[in-house]
Amino acid sequence: MELIAIFFILIPIALAVGILAALIGIGGGVLMVPIIAYIVFEFMVVGTAEIVSEPELIMKYATTISSTVIIFTGLSGTVAFSIQKRVDFVVGGLSAVFAVGGAILGKWIQTLFDNTILSIIFAGLLIVTSLRMFSKIATHYLQTKNQPAKENEDDCEPVTHQVINSLPETPIQTTIWGKLTRNRTLEDNCGDAWTYNAKLYLTPLAFAGGFVAGIGGLGGGIVMVPILHIAIGLPMHFATATSAFIMIFSSISAVGTAALNPELNLNIIWWPYVAGLAVGIIIGAQIGAQIAKRIKSQPLKLIFAVALLAVGIWSIIKVLVVVK
């Protein structure tokens, strides 16, 4: 197959990934890695012959390419969310420092594992992602069960949100934690008023999100969003937006660490593959975000969560059978 033909084939594939990722609220990496490892490297041999000849390195190359694509996804998402005024750059900047450290460690630890172990790790991430989606679906159902249905729950209508986390009560603790807490009251471009307290002293927890991004080739949102929302105290909309900003730095760090790995030769990657995937997923994410405003995404999320769980379990069973 001609190289230019492969480039144009990858664009619609990545377009579909971007649309689906935006519709169901997950990062594209969870779909990108298996596509690269099991479709691009297996069937589109042109430009990947040297990689395919080293099967023990396939997952390491796949996660590196995925991290490269996620850099552009993060940039695109950050621009879009910045226009919405939902990126907390202070929290994101501090968290990115620790996420970078986690990404470097995660990518370095990849060198200690063979392809089998990495496949099991990635399958585990698929299962965790699916379980998190099940949890979000159940929470959404319980919250909306007794509420009247809306024609379009994502319409831009001004609403007041208060997400205020109480500080310790003793004077000394209040002084210490108060200085390390970001108190914000702002209005986004939809006219929504937001009030929240972000615990800056918990931003080191972002190290875990960076670690997942490095070892799994993901954006890290599967861990980063809960940290930003539950631990640090950002509203969910801000946690998702700020996570996109952080993934730019964690992904760059993961790719940079891979470039320094003597085991990998990034020069053998046919980089127009990456360009095709990046173009498709960036455009797809924007399309998916618009579609998400007009359809109910919960049934789609449920179907996809079941599929992720099944693929994750199947992948682990397959690896264990091969090992035996």
Q: Residue 150 domain-assigned?
A: no
158 band by pLDDT with thresholds 50, 70 and 90: low
What pTM did the predictor assign?
Answer: 0.76
Number of domain units in the chain = 1
138 band by pLDDT with thresholds 50, 70 and 90: confident
| CA dist., res. 64 & res. 215, Å (int) | 9
- Token pair, residue 154, equals 């994502």
Q: Name the more confident of 47 and 126.
A: 126
Q: Residue 225 domain-assigned?
A: yes
Closest residue by Cα to residue 58 from 219, 271, 264: 264
Q: Residue 313 domain-assigned?
A: yes
Q: Residue 169 domain-assigned?
A: yes
The boundaries of the domain holding residue 221 are: 3-143+160-323
| CA dist., res. 305 & res. 217, Å (int) | 19
How many residues are recorded in the chain?
324
CA 19 to chain centre: 14
- 54-76 pLDDT, tens digit each: 666 777 888 888 888 888 888 88
